[in-house]
Amino acid sequence: MGFSNRGSAQGSGGSRGRDFYELRRYQLRNGPQPKRMDDHLREAAVPALNRAGIRPIGVFHGLVGPENPAVYVLVPYPSFDAMASVHQHLARDEEYQRRAADYLKASAAQPAFQRLETWLLEAFETTPHVEVPPSAAEGRPRIFELRTYENPSEKANLAKLKMFNTAEIAIFRRTGLRPVFFGNRIMGSRMPCLTYMLTFDNLAQREKNWAIFGSDPEWLKLRSTPGYTDAEIITNISNIFLAPAPYSQI
């Protein structure tokens, strides 16, 4: 899948019981690239990652957001060490090398994608692993909302993390907002920031549940608490709507 080997300078995250997430965005061009990328992920990359013990893998197509077509890939790792070993595993995996040949040998004249962005996230303390929605296992329709909150400073970032971990995520769950993951960005662009993903059956359910959350008395009190107001700790909020690929494991 073209993963880079980042090493393990910060040690293993497994002892803390929190996953690390690699979130990838493949910018594509209309034409053969979307099918070519889907074929590669479905037939080569996702099975190879599963053979390496990495699962569940989320693959999503952009619905509403910047510069579509695009494919987003979410890969959870139990530790830095596990993440660092994937590149070597894929290099030794003969089946992957065979199935990924078209992708790996793509030329500048016929590239597999236009560009690739990668972000590394550390799971929140209270949501240490990906939560696979039941609709994924059952093959039911679902959509995903990927949200990023940018912070004006590292201190503000820590405040927002505390806000989520101590109260906000619990309010999410109580008001029907269903998390998939929460992660604090530790490598990539637009830092400091955090990113999380929610899932819904459809857009109508999304609108309904966000409205319930937005009017919740506990949430209204929390968001007005000094030190937790948007004016103090948030500089920008962006969200993207995604649809799962048929072979997505999330």
β partners of residue 70: 27
Residue among 62, 47, 105 at smallest CA distance from 245: 62
Are residues 21 and 118 located together in one domain of the fold?
yes
Q: Which residues contact 174 (CB under 8 A, 6 or more apart)?
A: 216
Are residues 198 and 143 located together in one domain of the fold?
yes
Asked if pLDDT for residue 5 goes beyond 90, the answer is: no
Are residues 23 and 105 located together in one domain of the fold?
yes
**For the chain, what is the mean pLDDT?**
92
| 8 within 8 A of 15, measured Cβ to Cβ | no
**One-letter identity of residue 115:** R
Residue among 178, 107, 144, 159 at smallest CA distance from 23: 144
Question: pTM for the full model?
Answer: 0.91
Q: Does 77 map to a domain?
A: yes
| 234 within 8 A of 151, measured Cβ to Cβ | yes
Are residues 26 and 118 located together in one domain of the fold?
yes
Q: Which residues contact 111 (CB under 8 A, 6 or more apart)?
A: 33
Give the domain-ending residue among 87, 122, 157: 122
Distance (Å, rounded) from C-alpha 4 to C-alpha 249?
23
Q: Which domain holds residue 229?
A: 137-244
pLDDT, position 167:
98
Give the domain-ending residue among 71, 97, 122: 122
Average pLDDT in the 89-105 region?
95
Q: Is the dihedral of CA 179, 183, 137, 67 positive or negative?
A: positive
- Dump pLDDT digits (tens) for 179-229: 999 999 999 999 999 999 999 999 999 999 999 999 999 999 999 999 999
- Dump pLDDT digits (tens) for 136-145: 988 899 999 9
Are residues 92 and 162 located together in one domain of the fold?
no
Residue among 130, 115, 25 at smallest CA distance from 76: 130
Q: Does 128 map to a domain?
A: no
Distance (Å, rounded) from C-alpha 219 to C-alpha 234?
16
Are residues 141 and 88 located together in one domain of the fold?
no
